[in-house]
Chain A
Amino acid sequence: DAGITQSPRHKVTETGTPVTLRCHQTENHRYMYWYRQDPGHGLRLIHYSYGVKDTDKGEVSDGYSVSRSKTEDFLLTLESATSSQTSVYFCAISVQAKNTEAFFGQGTRLTVV
C-alpha cells in the first residue's frame, strides 16, 4: 500500500460546514495527489503537491484547498461543503517521478447532506 493512509474513511457532514481530509504517508515520497471519483467520471485531479509547501490546482479545484506543511501529510479542505462535493476521495503518491504511476490510499467516502 506504499504506506498511505487516509482519514477519516467515512464522513457525513452538513452543507456549509468545513471539512478536512487527511492523507498520511510514511515513506517520504515527494509527489502527492488528491482525486475525487464519481460514477461515470473516472478519477479527476483536485490538487497536487510536488513537495513541502509546493502545491497547485488540478482540473476540479474549485471549492477545495490543500496544505502540505510536512512531507508526510497532505490535507484537503472543503471550505464550505456542498452536496456536489459528495464523492469518494482518493489520495495518491508517485514513487518514480512526477506524474507517473499512482499508488492510492484506501479512499474517503464523503457525504454532504
Chain B
Amino acid sequence: GENVEQHPSTLSVQEGDSAVIKCTYSDSASNYFPWYKQELGKRPQLIIDIRSNVGEKKDQRIAVTLNKTAKHFSLHITETQPEDSAVYFCAASIENTNAGKSTFGDGTTLTVKP
C-alpha cells in the first residue's frame, strides 16, 4: 500500500518568513495530493490540492509543488502570519478508483512567532 512520509514534524518561523513542508510517497500510481490545515481542537480543512498532471499550483500565499519522478511534493507558505499556526497534513491517493484511498502523513506543527 501507499506510504506517505512528512517532514519536519515541527516547524517554527518568524512572522513574515516562509515555511516549507515536504512529503514523499511510495506508490507511483498516486495522482491526487491534497494538503489540510487543522487548528487546535478543530477539524482538518483542505487548503490546496494538486493533481499529477500539474507541477505547481498557487493560491495567494500558499503554493504546492509536485515532482512525480522523485515522488515528493511540498507545501510553501510565504509571508507567514500568526494565524497560519496549525498542524498541516499532506495526503496521497489514486483518484476515482476503488483502490488507493487517501494515505496521510503524520503532520507538521507549524508555529509562527509574532
Which A residues have a C-beta under 8 Å from some C-beta of B? 33, 40-45, 48, 50, 56, 58-59, 90, 97-107
A101 to B1, alpha carbons, bound, how many Å?
19
- Interface contact tally, CB-CB below 8 A: 62
User: Could you say which of B1, B94, B98, B104 contacts A42, with CB atoms under 8 Å apart?
Assistant: B104
B25 within 8 Å of A (CB atoms): no
Of all chain A residues, the one with the shortest Cβ separation from B105 is A42
Given known pairs A42-B105, A97-B95, A101-B34, the reply for A106 and B43 (CB within 8 Å) is yes
Q: Tell me how far the C-beta of B70 lies from the nearest C-beta in chain A, rounded to whole angstroms.
A: 22
Contact string against A for B residues 73-90, beta-carbon threshold 8 Å, 1 for contact and 0 otherwise: 000000000000000010
Interface size on B, residues (CB 8 A): 26
- Of the listed stretches B12-20, B44-52, B55-63, chain A binds B44-52
Interface of A is mostly: loop
A105 to B44, alpha carbons, bound, how many Å?
9
Given known pairs A42-B104, A42-B105, A105-B43, the reply for A100 and B98 (CB within 8 Å) is no
Q: Are B98 and A98 closer than 8 Å at their CB atoms?
A: yes
Most chain B beta-carbon neighbours within 10 Å: one of A33, A41, A50, A102: A102
A22 to B20, alpha carbons, bound, how many Å?
37
Most chain B beta-carbon neighbours within 10 Å: one of A33, A43, A103, A104: A43
A residues in contact with B65, CB < 8 Å: none
